[in-house]
Amino acid sequence: MPQATMNLEGLEMVAVLVVLALFVKVLEQFGLFEPVSLENSVEDEFELSTVCHRPEGLEQLQEQTKFTRKELQVLYRGFKNECPSGIVNEENFKQIYSQFFPQGDSSTYATFLFNAFDTNHDGSVSFEDFVAGLSVILRGTTDDRLNWAFNLYDLNKDGCITKEEMLDIMKSIYDMMGKYTYPALREEAPREHVESFFQKMDRNKDGVVTIEEFIESCQKDENIMRSMQLFDNVI
Amino acid sequence: MAAGVATWLPFARAAAVGWLPLAQQPLPPAPGVKASRGDEVLVVNVSGRRFETWKNTLDRYPDTLLGSSEKEFFYDADSGEYFFDRDPDMFRHVLNFYRTGRLHCPRQECIQAFDEELAFYGLVPELVGDCCLEEYRDRKKENAERLAEDEEAEQAGDGPTLPAGSSLRQRLWRAFENPHTSTAALVFYYVTGFFIAVSVIANVVETIPCRGPTRQPPREQPCGDRFPLAFFCMDTACVLIFTGEYLLRLFAAPSRCRFLRSVMSLIDVVAILPYYIGLFMPKNEDVSGAFVTLRVFRVFRIFKFSRHSQGLRILGYTLKSCASELGFLLFSLTMAIIIFATVMFYAEKGTNKTNFTSIPAAFWYTIVTMTTLGYGDMVPSTIAGKIFGSICSLSGVLVIALPVPVIVSNFSRIYHQNQRADKRRAQQKVRLARIRLAKSGTTNAFLQYKQNGSLEDSGGGEEQALCVRNRSAFEQQHHHLLHCLEKTTCHEFTDELTFSEALGAVSLGSRTSRSTSVCSQPVGAGSLLSSCCPRRAKRRAIRLANSTASVSRGSMQELDTLAGLRRSPAPQSRSSLNAKPHDSLDLTCDSRDFVAAIISIPTPPANTPDESQPSSPGGGGGGGASSTLRNSSLGTPCLLPETVKISSL
């Protein structure tokens, strides 16, 4: 019966293959037979977790920033408590910032902020960056603060703010408001806001706002100047 | 908000500079800043161990004790530290919560103690971190189960002392459920057990081949056919007993529907039904096959033993609780059987005279091989068949070995639970005896105090003062308190003997002299005593209503609630007879000025049998009558008066 024999042979082959597979497994157990595996990836993971950043000494920071020694101590203790590794990466930053704005989506604005704090653009905010930024905002002159704000708006850091950049910023700020606002948020609200901003700031109407135009226009606005006093007592 | 959020708030506020130039309206002024003292180190002294931490750390959670101004109550100005008289080891975990934002659960501490600490410091148990949450919940659940078991056992233990007025039905049911309660029940229990055994043995024996009295007919007959009458009589007797038992149980069951649906009653029915069906069935050959099948069901009588054996019940309960593991076992076995049977069938298809005639026929081989039985009635002959057959037996061992430990651990757990329940029942008696002893001890102490006190009043002199001072200040205050209560309610604490005497005297219509001496309004008290019926329960309620009213008056509740409470006891008391004398009592006792004390007494110390309770602010006020009754009947662990906490103000 050729059919039967064919079946038998096929099955015998299968049986032999199964036996071979089991044999290989047994050899693996004994460590005599090491199949090719992706062992490199394991080592990579170790690298990341051991990164730890220490800030420069207290004296240096005192020189660089306008905070007193005690203030720096308090700031560092809080920072280290939250980020034991010494640095904040973008994800953490977004998460922290989102805790203050539960109603809306603050992730875009947080990204912009992160880029503003991360002055050396290495993807992480260390304590020095953190404290330097805070020093400018909280202890700097009005011009310093305006400079910092300009830096925040200038997304590509080319020295001037275009309408698109401003629109992105504006949208991110309005996103933080969330859905439930009064009056209800309209689609065109950010765009209108940007238009009014440019009308105020853009002196030569060339469609971009440079740093000089920006500072000049802000200094002329009393409201803005007065609101700058808000930041004197934050820390 | 979480700990970290507070740290980052200044940063978020600073980042608001980015909104300034865009703002179309003037921004609001910054909130007034309190004097920034800078961060300071606080010292928290917990039972002598000093913990130091930044103030900011504690301020992270303002809705807890340490984070709010509540900690100022514990501030010791002399030493400049916050002193807590609590467990320092537990405090470590609480403080770490402030520092790290995660509450960890200590492994070696009692979970109840941990909970108490959390409650003290104002932390909700939900704050336990994810790493410890599972364990915390498990231990808590275990504890709660154990406590629930304790309570159940206590309540069940009250069973033997059934109220006198129970009906025949209730007594019968109790006799059935707890055979140890009465001799008749015990006798019945053993008789039924004996008959179950007899019935089962008869079933077995009637199939044994007996040799006939005369050796000539060499054929062997089963005993059942040789002595049909004897076996029939035995069977009838057993069935009669079982039927009687079943009907009695049915009659006595508190909920007949539930009883009918219960497993044991089903087993009973299945045990006796075949007999009756056999009686009423015609004896023709067609149905004799069915008749034989019915006889098989007689073997279910053996399950009736589970009423007599706790081990069997445990086994059954275990199997029920492991239903999912058993299901998994069955499912995986079925899968494996089908796979291997198919493979073996096709492997052996070619050989002549093979036993593997079909896949279902191969099932038998697979089952026998996987359970490592190996009868050898079906054996593969081809190489492929042998290889797959060996794989089959190896995998069978694995598949069966996996769910078995789960079942075993379940059984062990349930078995130990049962052991514990039995041990507890044995200890319960000892405990109750001790509780009664303690109660009588404190009552005697109080009565002695009163005697001494009355001796003093009558001008007893110096020699009395000596024996009075032997007791501690604590006891003195406590007794004084009880005395105040007596004066308030115009009732006295007595011991059991005098009470029963008084009761006897009252029922005869005469008033005891005691009641008149205590209360300045003999009419009120007398009418109280004589108007209430001699039944103990009612009198208890009246005394309780009075005592709770007075306690609520004496406790630290605000005066405006007192007015409401004074009115409310009226509906609370069982009889409306109480209303009138109650009001008169109010008038007399109003002018009293007594020490207000907050008491938390776990067990009522001066507990007379009629159980008027001076304690438990939880029980006092409002609708406390029934709950205070219950409080006193539950034996709580704290027995002796020294362990009673009183803080008198």
For B135-155, what is each residue's pLDDT tens digit? 888 888 888 877 776 776 666
User: With contacts defined as CB-CB under 8 Å, which chain B residues touch A196?
Assistant: 24
Q: Using DSSP bridges, classify how beta strands B49-54 and B75-76 pair: parallel, antiparallel or unpaired.
A: unpaired
User: Residue B494: what are its φ and ψ, rounded to 5°?
Assistant: -130, 180
User: Residue B561: what are its φ and ψ, rounded to 5°?
Assistant: -75, -25
Measure A141 CA to nearest chain B CA, in Å: 13
Q: Whole-number mean pLDDT of chain B?
A: 72
Which amino acid, one-letter code, is at B516? T
Higher pLDDT, B208 or B583: B208
Per-residue model confidence (pLDDT) at position A79: 84
**Which tokens in the block code for residue B623?**
């609708």
Q: What is the mean pLDDT of residues B185-214?
A: 85
**Which tokens in the block code for residue B118?**
């959390």
pLDDT-based confidence at residue B537 (cuts at 50, 70, 90): very low
Q: B359-370 and B323-348 helices cross at what angle (nearest 10)?
A: 120
pLDDT-based confidence at residue B508 (cuts at 50, 70, 90): low
Q: What is the Cα–Cα distance from B432 to B330, expressed in whole angstroms?
A: 49
Q: What is the mean pLDDT of residues B210-231?
A: 73
Per DSSP, the residues of B74-99 read: GEETTTTEEEE-S-HHHHHHHHHHHH
Contact by Cβ (8 Å): B389, B369:
yes
- The domains found in chain B, sorted by start residue, are 41-155 (3.30.710.10), 178-211+220-308 (1.20.120.350), 317-431 (1.10.287.70)
A177 touches chain B (CB under 8 A): no
Q: Check B350 against A4: CB less than 8 A apart.
A: yes
A230 touches chain B (CB under 8 A): yes
Sheet strands (E) in A15-94: 87-89
Per-residue model confidence (pLDDT) at position B312: 83
Chain A: residue nearest B17 by CA? A149
Higher pLDDT, A158 or B461: A158
Other C-beta atoms within 10 Å of B644: how many?
Answer: 20
Tell me which residues of chain A have a pLDDT lower than 70.
1-8, 33-51
Measure B102 CA to nearest chain A CA, in Å: 13
Per-residue model confidence (pLDDT) at position B294: 74
Most B CBs within 10 Å, among A5, A75, A81, A114, to test the B interface = A81
Per-residue model confidence (pLDDT) at position B369: 94
Q: What is the Cα–Cα distance from B320 to B318, expressed in whole angstroms?
A: 5
Per-residue model confidence (pLDDT) at position A26: 86
Residues B249-293 pLDDT 10s: 998 888 889 888 988 888 888 888 888 887 877 666 666 666 677
Higher pLDDT, B6 or B42: B42
Most A CBs within 10 Å, among B8, B17, B37, to test the A interface = B17
pTM of the model: 0.50
Task: Using the Cα atoms of residue A37, residue A40, residue A45 and residue A50 in order, give the sign of their dihedral.
Answer: positive
Residues B312-346 pLDDT 10s: 888 888 888 888 878 888 888 899 999 999 999 99
Q: What is the mean pLDDT of residues B609-627?
A: 38
Q: What is the Cα–Cα distance from B540 to B544, expressed in whole angstroms?
A: 6
- Given a cut of 80, is residue B453 above it in pLDDT? no
Tokens 């207000």, residue? B596
Q: What is the Cα–Cα distance from A197 to B22, expressed in whole angstroms?
A: 7
Which amino acid, one-letter code, is at B508? L
User: Residue B278: what are its φ and ψ, rounded to 5°?
Assistant: -65, -35
Q: What is the Cα–Cα distance from B538 to B251, expressed in whole angstroms?
A: 33
Measure B118 CA to nearest chain A CA, in Å: 24
Nearest to B485 by CA among B427, B524, B446: B446
Q: What is the Cα–Cα distance from A133 to A145, expressed in whole angstroms?
A: 10
Higher pLDDT, B20 or A5: B20
Contact by Cβ (8 Å): A103, A115:
no
Per-residue model confidence (pLDDT) at position B285: 61
Chain B: residue nearest A22 by CA? B391
Other C-beta atoms within 10 Å of B492: how many?
Answer: 21
- The domains found in chain A, sorted by start residue, are 70-139 (1.10.238.10), 142-234 (1.10.238.10)
3-state secondary structure B522-563: HHHHHHHHHHCCCCHHHHHHHHHHHHHHHHHHHCCCCHHHHH
As a whole-number percent, the residues of chain B with pLDDT over 90 amount to 15
Q: What is the mean pLDDT of residues B353-375?
A: 92
- Given a cut of 90, is residue B379 above it in pLDDT? yes
- Given a cut of 60, is residue B1 above it in pLDDT? no
Q: What is the Cα–Cα distance from B526 to B512, expressed in whole angstroms?
A: 9
Residue A207 DSSP code: S
pLDDT-based confidence at residue B421 (cuts at 50, 70, 90): confident
pLDDT-based confidence at residue B633 (cuts at 50, 70, 90): very low
**Which tokens in the block code for residue B192?**
């039924």
Q: What is the Cα–Cα distance from A78 to B448, expressed in whole angstroms?
A: 65
Of B67-71, B162-166, B405-409, the one with minimum mean pLDDT is B162-166
Per-residue model confidence (pLDDT) at position B6: 67
Q: Whole-number mean pLDDT of chain A?
A: 82
Q: Which residues 77-116 on chain B approach chain A with CB closer than 8 angstroms?
A: 99
pLDDT-based confidence at residue B584 (cuts at 50, 70, 90): very low
Q: What is the Cα–Cα distance from B119 to B65, expressed in whole angstroms?
A: 10
Q: Check A99 against B346: CB less than 8 A apart.
A: no
Q: What is the mean pLDDT of residues B508-537?
A: 44
Of B326-340, B347-361, B549-563, the one with minimum mean pLDDT is B549-563
pLDDT-based confidence at residue B646 (cuts at 50, 70, 90): very low
Measure A92 CA to nearest chain B CA, in Å: 12
Per-residue model confidence (pLDDT) at position B61: 85
Q: What is the mean pLDDT of residues B295-308?
A: 81
**Which tokens in the block code for residue B230?**
């004897």
Q: Which of A5, A18, A235 sits opposite B10 (nearest CB)?
A: A235
Other C-beta atoms within 10 Å of B168: how many?
Answer: 9
Higher pLDDT, B451 or B343: B343
Other C-beta atoms within 10 Å of B407: how many?
Answer: 16
Measure B22 CA to nearest chain A CA, in Å: 7
Tokens 């005592």, residue? B547
Q: What is the Cα–Cα distance from B40 to B400, expressed in whole angstroms?
A: 65
Residues 6+ apart with CB under 8 A from B86: B46, B47, B117, B120
Per-residue model confidence (pLDDT) at position B542: 46
Q: Which of B8, B19, B25 sits opposite A173 (nearest CB)?
A: B19
Nearest to B589 by CA among B498, B462, B484, B452: B484
A138 touches chain B (CB under 8 A): yes
